[in-house]
Structure 1
């Protein structure tokens, strides 16, 4: 699958194992809903409970009546709403019985004969496989429950990053404001530079023209105070502009 080309990342499944479990559980629940079980004791009413130790489906009345004494009161019974099928126990290779018990010291499932002969109390601690399974189930749920702490840590880090993002955003906005001010200032300076450049070209051109005109003026005109005054005013007007 890792070598397959995907056009859109959103089409990728988030977790193949979890999806497989979900498909299996959905199929089991669908089969269970379509299947009506009858009490295996009275053969009349609908079964509502499953006893792990008895391996039997009971209706409400038969379940209460069967599990009244001390020997059966500790049996693990499960509502059929939370159970889709009977448990499938492994078989003991020596006695060909269901391994319905678990030895905590040997870490293995055993049948009732092995429990009494090969795993006696107090040398061995044994319990029903169903009870041990529920203990493991609880431990696994608690392990998954620790995800809450991890999520809390991730949320805290995300809030820190959001705070830093806001600070960076403020700094960026301030830089943008300053950039706009400097841009406007630069545009004004460019206009001023162009204006003075135009003045330079005008004065230089006038300088060339006036020098040429002065050189061409005769001696008599230069002795005319009115003419000379007019020339001086023209020169002054050019420099004043």
Structure 2
């Protein structure tokens, strides 16, 4: 293991954070140096990573030389908290690296935005763009020429055929399938297991097979 890995703070200490800690421990670039979460006791540990306090501790960590942090909360239907924390880190000047699990498969032409996260077993094909703060979760499959806009959240097992656009802040539930060329609007919610065969308007909630 690289002993010169860059220290990094995680905002959040729940299930998503534990997945990210595993990702970081499998990778040789960043070291999880601490967790900030108002729901956890200072001094406790999550997978060996110490809980340092709340978000108010960010400036102290900066003063101690920490320059990197990531949003480590998950999402269920809304990405509002993730967006808020992302903005907070940007305002304070933290660098938010994109994180990719070593077992994920990405084409060399994939573009990852600031703070994007790609989890274990995901596959992302050629000419796809993943926006800032977006999450491609465990085992998701994204085919060629897709665009996942900022802060969108793809739950485990989502499948996107070629040329799909996922709007800002959209949430796609576990196992959702989207056929080729489809546009998912900003803030839309696709229920788990839905099969999307037509465009989805901004802010809509769709479910079922076919989704409506």
* TM, length-normalised to structure 2: 0.21
Which has the higher relative contact order, 1 or 2, with Cα contacts under 8 A spaced 6 or more apart?
2
TM-score if structure 1 supplies the norm length? 0.19
Indicate the structure with greater helix content. 1
